[in-house]
Amino acid sequence: MIEAVVFDLDGVLLDTEEIWDEARRQIAAERGGRWPEDAQQAMMGMSSPEWSGYMHDVVGLTEPPEEISAEVVARLEALYRERLPLIDGAIEAVRRIGSARPLAIASSSNRPLIDLFLELTGTGDLFRATVSSEEVARGKPSPDVYLEAAGRLGAAATRCAAIEDSENGIRSAAGAGMRVLAIPNRVFPPSEEALALADVVLESLDELTVEVVEGLAAADDELHA
């Protein structure tokens, strides 16, 4: 049985992957950094200490990683307050699934951005737990953030379903032992190898229903019958 559902944030509920990319590129350009072609893909899923370290070590910014992280977060906070980039159907999907299962968020976003999302959407009461990858040892694709989310929910990771969009996110949730429902990111799509780790691939949040979640448990029962 699926006891709880864990949502990723960026790319699943918020259309922010391009915004993160733009904010980091701007800072790199302003401060004379080198922007590798694969920089965005490399940083997707990293925790804030990891990606700010990448910006320092690989992109070549001279500021300490914690200052780089704070600057990027400040720019995103301002954009969120101006217009929160909700993905169509995001709040409806959260309320729909939350009516049947406990919910959590497991995100690579910094804690202030997770909390701002909850504040601006008024959904804080819908999530029993929220975890930023800056609060665990390793970011995605390591399973740490999903394992921590399951722990805070009081559920075994193998009895949780994760909603993910990205290569590293899918690998993280699958590595934690969760059932994975993938809604592939259209701008930075996951590889076929990563999608093969998902139990279900959906086109949009509109297809994310309680019945789909319950179907994961039914499929598991059939597998072990």
Lowest mean pLDDT among 37-41, 74-78, 151-155, 181-185: 37-41
Q: What is the model's pLDDT at position 223?
A: 42
pLDDT at residue 219 tops 80: no
- pTM for the model: 0.89
Phi and psi (nearest 5°) for 107? -130, 150
Strands ordered across the beta sheet of 129-132: 129-132, 103-107, 4-7, 160-164, 179-182, 200-201
Q: What is the model's pLDDT at position 218?
A: 63
Categorize the per-residue pLDDT at 224 as very low, low, confident or very high, splitting at 50, 70 and 90. Answer: very low
Lowest mean pLDDT among 29-33, 176-180, 181-185: 29-33
Average pLDDT over residues 15-28: 90
pLDDT tens profile 132-170: 999 999 999 999 999 999 999 999 999 999 999 999 999
Give the Å distances, CA to CA, from 69 to 2, 17, 39, 127, 166. Answer: 35, 16, 15, 25, 21
Q: What is the model's pLDDT at position 21?
A: 87
Residue 83: left (phi > 0), alpha (psi -120 to 50), or beta?
Answer: beta
Single-letter amino acid code for the residue at 215: G
Do residues 134 and 49 lie in contact, with contact meaning Cβ atoms separated by under 8 Å? yes
Instruction: Give percent of the chain above pLDDT 70.
Output: 96
pLDDT tens profile 179-190: 999 999 998 899
151: three-class secondary structure by DSSP? helix
Rounded-to-integer distance, Cα 191 and Cα 115, Å: 30
Lowest mean pLDDT among 86-95, 106-115, 210-219: 210-219
Average pLDDT over residues 188-204: 96
Instruction: Give percent of the chain above pLDDT 90.
Output: 86
Q: Would you state the structure tokens that stand for residue 194, as one six-digit string?
A: 């990563």
pLDDT at residue 225 tops 60: no
Q: Would you state the structure tokens that stand for residue 81, as one six-digit string?
A: 């307050």
Single-letter amino acid code for the residue at 142: S
What sign does the dihedral 54-60-64-69 (CA atoms) show? negative
Domains belonging to the chain, first-starting first, are 4-15+85-223 (3.40.50.1000), 17-82 (1.10.150.240)
